[in-house]
Amino acid sequence: MLIPFIKMQAQGNDFIILDGFAWAAKGLNYSDFAIEACAFHTGIGADGLVLMLPSENADGQMLIYNSNGSQAEMCGSALRCVAYLLHNKLNKRELAIQTDSGLLAATVSPEGIVTVNLGMPKIIHKAFSALGFSGDLVDIGNLHFIIWQNDLDSDPHLLHGARLENYQGFPQAVNVHFAKLLSPTEVQIKIWERGCGATLACGTGAVSTVFSARQRELVESSVQVNMPGGAVQIEALETGYLLRGEVAFSFSGDYHWRI
């Protein structure tokens, strides 16, 4: 079976996208497909598999599978990629996209910059202790553990991310971010994503980090978040947190999948 796919990335956070408007895989086990196709050395290679589907109540629907086959509730980078594809498909700049975290709004600028409103994050536990670290546990449709440090040069996400992701004291597995304050308008993060491992970017993680910083009165309402794969802009509004940044088409093709 040949499965048509689109490969896109946002600040290096990369995805295999299946266009459900053009093609439907009946009986395809998406979890198994994600594990095989997302493998970097033997498959296409990606942080996750994204299904872009028609919706009766929105411009489209997004479903996400991590590279380990588990399903994810939300991904800000993937949402921006889907918004860009829907913009091209529907010729609309303002879009409503159904996700497992609710109906979310997206806008595509004439220059191709994609902005999504991820809603208002929630602090589940401030200064929560886990495995010798103190961090903020934030819910933005998925869970993020934000640890503030003065130095990220030792790559603490690689040293501690896997253990923290599955720490039994959390209600479920989490995304882990080690963050450094650069100024009231700029922060840096290094990322360990649940079900993926170390990634170059994380949209919901960028938003959660700024939300954590604002709870600690460290930053202003508009903040640049620098990640290993690039930067995004986060804007805190009363109606929710905006995530803004570029996305890019990588390539497309057909993947030979076992029947």
Active site residues: 75, 202
Q: Where are the beta strands (DSSP E) in 174-215?
A: 175-183, 186-193, 197-199
CA distance 241 to 225: 13
94-99/222-227 β-pairing: unpaired
**CA terminus-to-terminus distance, the chain:** 6
**Main-chain dihedrals φ then ψ at residue 67, nearest 5 degrees:** -65, -15
Measure Cα distances from 116 to 1, 72, 241, 250 in Å.
Answer: 35, 18, 8, 21
Q: 94 with 62: CB under 8 angstroms?
A: no
Q: 214 with 206: CB under 8 angstroms?
A: no
